[in-house]
């Protein structure tokens, strides 16, 4: 059988991820492989850890990148911190917190839900009330809910969780590198992310960081973690001073993450967050000028992912198809409870540039006029 050489369309990726990969990151991936136990590779791993600490705003020793996508970070966080029967509280207000709930159940936790309608956020008081009632060992929350476009404030949450001897687990998949995230200042215990959203690298790694408090809890486990591949203590021995083989690291992805994080450091986190905010503001203003309505109120609207209501007389899938076919622009439809009701527009990492926003707005105006 003979197929032609790989030839994919050049797309402008403005969906919920993957986002566009910076050319420097793409080039880094063409670097020849070295072994995963080569001292030169250990050097790169150390550099990636340093750059991740910068990006997470943490001094946590346990800071590394797991092989796998964002869901591997989520799975590792739940599998390692849940033992059968442990009370766990999940703050559920969207698709990804629902996934956390599902995973926690599979690992045998006694899972309680603190629920809000999709698109709303939790106050520290609401979390505290639920923590007092359920006495969980772990409280899990999504920082940037990619299914709704809501940004969950995290200031003050750790205090109420820690007062009751629980750990705070945060999904930062769509916030790391795209919007303010201060792991140490906000005293977060377990935080994971992914490479293909605001870090402008391909999907394939899940950065994760653990507070000392979390590491102590991990060490005190009574039962072995039921997933061998995502056992954080075993993986920690590869990334730590032991450098003990666990599995073959995805070498080219580590190259990519290193270059992506170098770009973060070069730009500076504050400037990067502001770039995302400016691009998002331009998008929001432009969408409203087109007569469209945004789903999330401005007070807690997420800059990296915007949800727009689909007008009642518009075929939402047709609009996305025209965007893709006529303009090479990818955006997404709604997930779960918001299926068919919103479009989801991502401005993440290298995608978060004004020229992309202006192009999308012009294309949308043209397509909506045609209908």
Ligand X SMILES: *Cc1c(COP(=O)(O)O)cnc(C)c1O
For ligand X, the binding residues (CB under 6 A) are: 17, 69-71, 74, 96, 142, 144, 146, 171, 173-174, 194, 203
- Minimal distance, residue 38 CB to ligand X, in Å: 28
Q: Nearer to ligand X by C-beta: 96 or 343? A: 96
Q: Nearer to ligand X by C-beta: 171 or 259? A: 171
- Minimal distance, residue 174 CB to ligand X, in Å: 4
Q: Nearer to ligand X by C-beta: 188 or 367? A: 188
Q: Nearer to ligand X by C-beta: 171 or 231? A: 171
Helix axes 70-81, 95-106, angle to 10 degrees: 40
- Minimal distance, residue 238 CB to ligand X, in Å: 21
DSSP three-state, residue 81: helix
State the number of CA atoms in the 13 A half-sphere of 75 facing the CB.
Answer: 16
Q: Nearer to ligand X by C-beta: 144 or 310? A: 144
Beta strand segments in 47-180, E: 62-67, 87-92, 110-115, 138-142, 144-145, 150-151, 167-171
Beta strand segments in 148-273, E: 150-151, 167-171, 190-192, 205-210
* Residue 111 · residue 101 · CB < 8 Å: yes
- Minimal distance, residue 230 CB to ligand X, in Å: 13
Q: Which residue is nearest to ligand X (CB)?
A: 70
Residues 6+ apart with CB under 8 A from 330: 11, 12, 13, 14, 15, 323, 324
- Minimal distance, residue 29 CB to ligand X, in Å: 18
Distances in Å between the alpha carbon of 318 and those of 171, 194, 330? 32, 30, 13
Q: Nearer to ligand X by C-beta: 82 or 173? A: 173
- Minimal distance, residue 256 CB to ligand X, in Å: 14
- Minimal distance, residue 194 CB to ligand X, in Å: 4
Q: What share of the chain is helix, strand, coil (3-state, %, to 5)?
A: 40, 15, 40
Q: Nearer to ligand X by C-beta: 153 or 203? A: 203
The three state secondary structure string of 47-77 is HHHHHHHHHHCCCCCEEEEEECCHHHHHHHH
CA distance 250 to 254: 6
């Amino acid at each position: 059988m003979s197929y032609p050489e790989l030839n994919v369309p050049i797309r402008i990726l403005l969906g919920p991820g993957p986002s566009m990969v910076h050319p420097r990151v793409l080039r880094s991936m063409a670097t020849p492989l070295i072994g995963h136990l080569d001292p030169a590779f250990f050097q790169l791993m150390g550099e990636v850890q340093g750059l991740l600490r910068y990006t997470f705003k943490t001094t946590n020793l346990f800071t590394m990148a797991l092989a796998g996508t964002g869901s591997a970070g989520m799975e590792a966080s739940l599998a390692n911190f849940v033992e059968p029967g442990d009370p766990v509280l999940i703050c559920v207000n969207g698709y990804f917190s629902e996934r956390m709930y599902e995973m926690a159940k599979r690992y045998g936790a006694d899972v309680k839900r603190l629920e809000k309608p999709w698109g709303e956020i939790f106050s520290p008081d609401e979390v505290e009330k639920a923590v007092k009632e359920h006495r969980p060992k772990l409280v899990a929350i999504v920082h940037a809910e990619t299914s709704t476009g809501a940004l969950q404030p995290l200031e003050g949450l750790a205090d109420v969780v820690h007062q009751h001897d629980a750990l705070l687990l945060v999904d930062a998949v769509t916030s790391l590198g795209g919007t303010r995230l201060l792991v140490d200042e906000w005293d977060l215990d377990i935080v994971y992310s992914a490479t293909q959203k605001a870090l402008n690298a391909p999907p394939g790694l899940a950065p994760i960081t653990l507070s000392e408090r979390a590491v102590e809890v991990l060490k005190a486990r009574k039962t072995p973690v039921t997933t061998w591949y995502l056992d954080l203590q075993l993986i920690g021995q590869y990334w730590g001073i032991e450098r003990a083989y666990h599995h073959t690291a995805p070498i080219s992805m580590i190259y990519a993450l290193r270059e992506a994080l170098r770009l973060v450091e070069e730009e500076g986190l504050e400037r990067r967050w502001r770039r995302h905010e400016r691009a998002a503001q331009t998008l929001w203003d432009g969408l409203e000028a087109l007569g469209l309505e945004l789903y999330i109120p401005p007070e807690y609207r997420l800059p990296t992912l915007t949800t727009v209501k689909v007008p009642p007389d518009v075929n939402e899938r047709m609009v996305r198809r025209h965007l893709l076919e006529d303009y090479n622009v990818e955006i997404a439809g709604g997930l779960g409870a918001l299926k068919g009701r919103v479009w989801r527009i991502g401005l993440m990492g290298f995608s978060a540039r004004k020229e992309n926003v202006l192009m999308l707005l012009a294309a949308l105006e043209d397509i909506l006029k045609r209908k």
